[in-house]
Structure formats: C-alpha cells, structure tokens
Amino acid sequence: MEQFLLDNAARHQLLISRLKPPKKTKVTYEASNITVAARVRPMLEHETSSGQVVAVYPRVDDSGVVDLHDLRRVSSTYTPGRVFGPNDPTESIYESTVYPLIPWAWEGNVGTFFAYGQTGSGKTFSIGGIERLVAEALFDGTLPGERTIHAAFFELAGNSAFDLLSSRASFPILEDNLGRTQLVGIREHNVRNKEDLLAFTEEANKLRQTAPTTKNDGSSRSHGICRIRIEDPSSETAGDGVLYLIDLAGSEAARDLASHSSERMKETREINISLSVLKDCIRGIADADSTKSSKKPYIPFRQSMLTKVLKHVFDPLESRKCKTTVLACINPSLLDTGASKNTLRYAEMLCGPKSALSR
Ligand SMILES: Nc1ncnc2c1ncn2[C@@H]1O[C@H](COP(=O)(O)OP(=O)(O)OP(=O)(O)O)[C@@H](O)[C@H]1O
C-alpha cells in the first residue's frame, strides 16, 4: 500500500493542483470548558526525500477547516476547532489555547492540556515549547498576588507510574477514603523561578521511556505528565490551582511498530486502551458541557490509570472547576491519512455537533 501511494504521489499532487478553491466557510468557536485545536506539522526532511507528499491542507482563510486529499477515496473536510498549519509557531497555539489555563489555575482551578495524535505527529515537540512558555508566564510578574509553585513530573506506562524527578522511582496510585486519587510518595519540587521549572522539565524529559517506531526514532512509549500545583499562601481555605501538561503516548497501529516483540505489542495494546478510555471520558465531559443536562453523565474514568489520575477532571461528582484543552497533532503525509482522519474526526467530535460541516 505504501509503495502504491509513493508511486502515485506525483499524480496525487497534479490532481490537487487542479482543485477549485474551496467555498469560504466560517466556523464559530463556542465558549465552553473544552477547547479543541489541531496542529498540522510540516513535512520532515526524511519524509520529502523518500518521495512522500502532503495530503492534509489547513485552509489559509483562518476558517478552521482542514481538507484531506486521499488518493484512493474522495477528499474529505474537517472542522477540528482552531487550526494551526505547518508555518504556525508554537507561540500562536499557546496564546489562543494554553494561556487561558494559566490565570484559571492561578485562581485555584484545574487546567489540563493534552497533546493527542499518531506517533510522530508532533506531540512532544509541541509540549516542549508550551512548557517553556508556561514557565515564562508563571514568573513574568503579570499574574496578580503571590503564589507558591510546586512541580512534579511523572510517566504512566501500562499500570505502572514512574517519578521522572526521582530517577524513575515507581510509585503507587491509590484512592484515599475521601475518594481522592493519591500519587503515593511522588516527589514534588518547589519552583522559585522560570529557570527552575525549565531545569526540572529538561531533567524529566531525559528520563522519558522512548523506543523507535517506523514514524519516530524517539517515540514516547508512555504518557508524560507535568503537574504544576499553585498554592495561595495568603488563604487557608482556597484550594490549590493545578495545571497539567500531558504528552500522550502516540496512538499507533501494529504496522507502525519497529519491533513486534510480545513486550512491544503488549505496550501498544495498553497505550491504545488507555487512549480509548481517555477519548470516551473527554467525549463524556464535552457532551455534558454542551447539553447542560442536570443528569450526571456516565464517564468511565476508573477504566484506566491515566483517567484515574485525572479523576477530578472526569468524575461528575467532583466539584472543582476544570478547563481542558486538547491539541490534535497531525502528520500531513499521504502515507498517514488513515491515522490523520481518525485524529481529525475525534477533534471534530469534541467540538460538538454544531461545529461539524455537512459534507
Ligand atoms: N511543528 C513542527 N515543526 C518542525 N518539526 C516538527 C514539528 N512537529 C514535530 N516535528 C518533528 O517531528 C518529529 C516527531 O515529532 P514528535 O517527537 O514531537 O512526535 P510525537 O507525536 O511526540 O511522537 P511519539 O508519539 O512517537 O512520541 C520530531 O523530529 C520533531 O522535531
């Protein structure tokens, strides 16, 4: 199949050059506690030199529309929220989708940012830039009042959790008798300035578990979580604000694996199950958010370690106020249209029925 696509890449590009310009479409972004965005990364050097061509085109009119031109099937159109193209820097993504979480967490609420997508689609790249920008914003003196900041970095792989600021020491995740999730024994570090936070980020990233896939030599084989706790020392009653920056493990098909050892296959199954539970949970809160029904929705957050850790985001009985941003990362290559469609459809679904274009 890949060879067929490579052999026909020139014809694919010729057909695309003959397409009429699309009709202008304006998508409105509704105020909600879930912000969804898609980032289509540029083609990489090794992809173009091996003859791969672009199949995913964000429209340049800022309409929030992405066209995907497949070779064997009809072209399709998606509206996955805000759309960022190959030339958009991480700063633009940060300003419109991540920055709003910072004053929110500063005021004692919970902000969660997920980077989601196929292996090699740009999740770790995006999170790296966002961590740097968050570190700057927390310490640039523009947020009101004094806060004490604490950071923990950890990794979830299957049913195990590892402390990335404590030589990958494993630690249990338990629920206490008040129903709160406890990361037992994880080391939390006081952060005095931007440089501290960047140093912790770098130390943690060096200890992430990686392995090669066919799409990415240094693929993250786990969910990497940065948890920033923001304490208001002037108030004994205010709850701490929390900001989570989550680099999800890449969703991948068995054919993307560089090795098919039983260990890698098991790891892939576990990643895909936890991503599927996460999808159901985010979809659950997105639906509850859009219908505003008084009935508590069923959200299956107990079905994976990742969503248990994020219980306060997903448990309908929790009273903490949460805002969530999902960045869907897209690999633009014609060879990856299957995975790109899945990611775009998922992002579109999170935006709610009103955002979907009739095709
Ligand atoms: N916007 C971008 N601009 C330039 N290069 C990028 C961009 N996004 C990703 N890349 C490059 O693409 C490659 C894969 O990106 P990255 O490691 O972030 O993927 P990933 O989604 O985290 O993959 P995995 O799930 O396998 O860990 C890296 O070499 C990265 O530097």
Measure 121 CA to ligand 1 centroid, in angstroms. Answer: 5
Residuewise pLDDT in 10s, the chain (359 residues): 678 888 888 877 877 777 766 665 554 444 468 899 999 999 999 999 999 999 999 988 777 899 999 877 778 899 998 999 999 999 999 999 999 999 999 999 999 999 999 989 999 999 999 999 999 999 999 999 899 999 999 999 888 899 999 999 999 999 888 888 899 999 999 999 999 999 999 999 888 877 666 666 666 778 999 999 999 998 877 789 999 999 998 876 555 555 556 777 777 888 888 888 998 888 887 777 666 666 777 889 989 999 999 888 888 777 778 899 999 999 999 999 999 999 999 898 887 654 443 32
**Is 119 flagged in the annotation as binding?**
yes
Measure 287 CA to ligand 1 centroid, in angstroms. Answer: 30
Check pocket membership of 329 for ligand 1, CB cut-off 6 A.
Answer: yes
How far the first Cα of the chain sits from its last, in Å, is 27
Question: What pTM was estimated for this model as a whole?
Answer: 0.87
Residue 16 host element (H or E):
helix 9-17
Q: What is the pLDDT of residue 27?
A: 47
Q: What is the pLDDT of residue 184?
A: 94
* Whether 302 contacts 315, CB under 8 Å: no
Determine how many CB atoms are found less than 10 A away from the CB of residue 167. Answer: 8
Q: What is the pLDDT of residue 289?
A: 66
- Tell me phi and psi for residue 241, to 5 degrees: -80, 150
CB-based contacts of 96: which residues, under 8 Å, 6+ apart?
A: 37, 82
- 8-state DSSP, 303: G
Q: What is the pLDDT of residue 92?
A: 95
Measure 119 CA to ligand 1 centroid, in angstroms. Answer: 8
Check pocket membership of 331 for ligand 1, CB cut-off 6 A.
Answer: no
**Is 118 flagged in the annotation as binding?**
yes
Q: What is the pLDDT of residue 239?
A: 83
d(CA 44, CA 126): 15
Torsion of CA 343, 349, 352, 358, to 10 degrees: 100
Minimum CA distance residue for ligand 1 atom 4: 42
* Whether 345 contacts 328, CB under 8 Å: no
The residue ranges of DSSP E strands in 158-234, in sequence order, are: 160-163, 169-170, 173-175, 181-183, 189-191, 210-211, 219-220, 223-231
Residue 114, classed as helix, strand or coil, is strand
**Is 214 flagged in the annotation as binding?**
no
Check pocket membership of 122 for ligand 1, CB cut-off 6 A.
Answer: yes
Check pocket membership of 220 for ligand 1, CB cut-off 6 A.
Answer: yes
Check pocket membership of 123 for ligand 1, CB cut-off 6 A.
Answer: yes
d(CA 114, CA 244): 8
Q: Which two tokens stand for residue 76?
A: 């399709």
Q: What is the pLDDT of residue 30?
A: 45
* Whether 112 contacts 244, CB under 8 Å: yes
- Tell me phi and psi for residue 248, to 5 degrees: -75, 150
d(CA 334, CA 331): 9
